[in-house]
Structure 1
Amino acid sequence: MRKNLIRTTSLAAVAAAAVFSLSACEDGADSSGASPVPSAAQTQSGDKGQEADGGTGGNAGDAGSKGSSAGSGSGGSTSGNGSGDGGSASDGGSSGGADKGGYGQVCGANDLTWNARSETQAGGYILISVKAKSGITCTLPAALPVVAFGSDGTEAGPAEQAVGEPVKLSGGTIAYAGVNPKTTNNDYGKELTEIIAAVSKDDKTDPVSLSTGSITVDRPIVTNWHTAPQDAVPGDGLDSH
C-alpha cells in the first residue's frame, strides 16, 4: 500500500515536471520568434515622432517659399531702378535735341532761310540775306561767308579788311552779306546764273544753291555778315586792277 502511494506520488511529480518544461519551451519560442506586437503607448509615441518630423519639413518648406518671395522682391526693385535710369537717359536725349534751338549755337546753312537778289547800287552787286528758320536761335560767327561760283568752285575773297561781329539770329532778325562778282576792269569773266553759299569755312552742313540771274564772274569778293543791308555794299573791293 505504501509502495503504491510512493509510485503515485512519483508519477505525479514527473507529470508536473513535464508540464513545467513544456510551458518553458513555449515561452522561449515566443521570445525568439516573431516581433512582439507594439503596445498602444508605443504606437502613439511613434505617431507623434512622425508628426514632429513632418512639421519640421513643413516649416523648412515655408522658409524656402519666403526666401523665394524675398528674391522676387529684390528683382522687382532692380527692375524699378533700371526703368528710372532709362527715364533719365530719355530726358538727357530730349535736352540734347533742345540745344538745337538754344542760344549760343553757331548757325549752319541748314538752320537758315536764304535769299539772293541783284542790286544796282555801286555798279551792281548781289545781296544775300539770311534768317533763322522757325523755332531756331543761332549765331552767325565773326567770319567771312563762303561764296563759290561755277563748276570750278571759284571762291569770293574778302571785301573788308576787318573781321565782322557775330550776329544772333532769331525770329524776324535778318543778316546781310554783299557779293561783287566782278572786280576787274576788263572783258574777261565767266557767265553764270547761280552761286553756292555757306555760313563760313567751319560750316559742316551742306551749302545752298542761290539763283542770281545772269552774272559775269571774275575775282569776286564778299562782305562780312551785317544786320543792315546798307552796310553790306561790297564796292570795288581790294583789287587794284
Structure 2
Amino acid sequence: MRSHIVPLALVVTALAVTATACGPENSAPASAEGATATTAATASAAPSAPTPTPTAPAAKSAKPTASTSGSGDKSGYGQACGANDLTFSAKLENQAGGYILISAKAKPGITCVLSGEHPVIAFGSGGIEAATAEQAVGRPITLSGSAIAYAGINPKSTKDDQAVEFKDVIIGIGKADPNPVSIPVGAVRVDKPIVTNWHADAKDAVPGV
C-alpha cells in the first residue's frame, strides 16, 4: 500500500507544477487584452480637441468720398461764362456824349457766371483794346434764362478829332477767352476806348468821359 501512495503524491505535485507553469502564459494575453481595452476606453473618454472656427474678417469701413464741385472757376460762385456761352447785342446810346451799350444773355440751357470785371473789348484786326472805366471790381452776375448783364463802351475818350472808324467790336470774357465774339455796332469813331464792368442794371453801365 505504501508503494502506491508515493506515486500519487508525485502525480499531484507534477500536476500542480504544470498548472503553475501554464498559468503565466495563459494570463499574459488576458493582461494584454485588458491593457488594450483600458487604452481604448481612455481614448474614448478623452475629449476631442475643438475644431477651430474660421473668424470672418472685420468689414472695412467705407471711406468718405470727397465731393467735387462742377464749377469751372475758383470763385465758388459757379461755372464761369465764356463768350461762346453768351448771346450779345449792341446799341448806340446818346447819353454821356454817346456810348455803346453791350447786353449779354446766356444761351438756352446754359447757366454761368460773369465776374464783376470788365469784358475784353477790342476794335479792328489791329486790336485797339479798351481800358477799364472803373477803379473797383463789381459783384459777379449769374446769367441764366432771361437774366441780362450790361457793359458800356465809350469808343472815344479823347477830345480831339483824331479817331479811326470801325463797324464791329470784338468781345471776350477775360484775356484768356479762346472764343471771342465779333458783333456789329454801326459806324463808330474809336480813339482810346474805355469800358465799364459788367452790371445787372443798364443804368450802372454808363462809361465816364
Per the shorter chain, which TM-score range?
Answer: 0.5 to 0.7
Shift of residue 143, structure 1, vs aligned partner: 2.1
CA RMSD, 1 decimal: 1.8
* 2:21 counterpart residue number: none
Q: Once the two structures are superposed, what CA deviation does each residue of 1:111-164 show, in whole Å capped at 9, x if it has no partner?
A: 111111100111100000001111111000232210001121010000011112
**Structure holding more strand per residue:** 2
* 2:124 counterpart residue number: 150
User: Of the candidates 212, 233, 236, which is equivalent to residue 206 of structure 2?
Assistant: 233
How far, CA to CA, are the matches of 1:129 and 1:178 in structure 2? 9
Shift of residue 99, structure 1, vs aligned partner: 7.4
* 2:30 counterpart residue number: none
Matched, 1:199 2:196: no
Q: Once the two structures are superposed, what CA deviation does each residue of 1:28-71 show, in whole Å capped at 9, x if it has no partner?
A: xxxxxxxxxxxxxxxxxxxxxxxxxxxxxxxxxxxxxxxxxxxx
Matches within 5 A, 1:94-113: 104-113=78-87
How far, CA to CA, are the matches of 1:235 and 1:121 in structure 2? 10
Q: Stretches of 4+ moved more than 4 A in 1?
A: none
* 1:212 counterpart residue number: 185
Matched, 1:224 2:197: yes
How far, CA to CA, are the matches of 2:71 and 2:134 in structure 1? 33
Q: Which amino acid in structure 1 is aligned with residue 129 of structure 2?
A: E
How far, CA to CA, are the matches of 1:202 and 1:143 in structure 2? 14
* 2:138 counterpart residue number: 164
Q: Which amino acid in structure 1 is aligned with residue 102 of structure 2?
A: I
* 1:10 counterpart residue number: none
How far, CA to CA, are the matches of 1:139 and 1:158 in structure 2? 20
How far, CA to CA, are the matches of 1:156 and 1:196 in structure 2? 10
| TM-score in terms of structure 2 length | 0.62
Secondary structure of the residue aligned to 1:200 is coil
Q: Which amino acid in structure 2 is aligned with residue 156 of structure 1?
A: A
How far, CA to CA, are the matches of 2:192 and 2:181 in structure 1? 21
Determine what percentage of the aligned residue pairs are the same residue: 58
**Structure holding more helix per residue:** 1
Secondary structure of the residue aligned to 1:230 is helix
Q: Once the two structures are superposed, what CA deviation does each residue of 1:68-101 show, in whole Å capped at 9, x if it has no partner?
A: xxxxxxxxxxxxxxxxxxxxxxxxxxxx9x979x
* 2:148 counterpart residue number: 174
How far, CA to CA, are the matches of 1:163 and 1:202 in structure 2? 18
| TM-score in terms of structure 1 length | 0.54
How far, CA to CA, are the matches of 1:132 and 1:195 in structure 2? 19
Q: Which amino acid in structure 2 is aligned with residue 208 of structure 1?
A: V
How far, CA to CA, are the matches of 2:100 and 2:149 in structure 1? 14
Matched, 1:129 2:103: yes
How far, CA to CA, are the matches of 1:151 and 1:132 in structure 2? 26
Contiguous gaps of at least 5 residues in structure 1:
1-95, 237-241
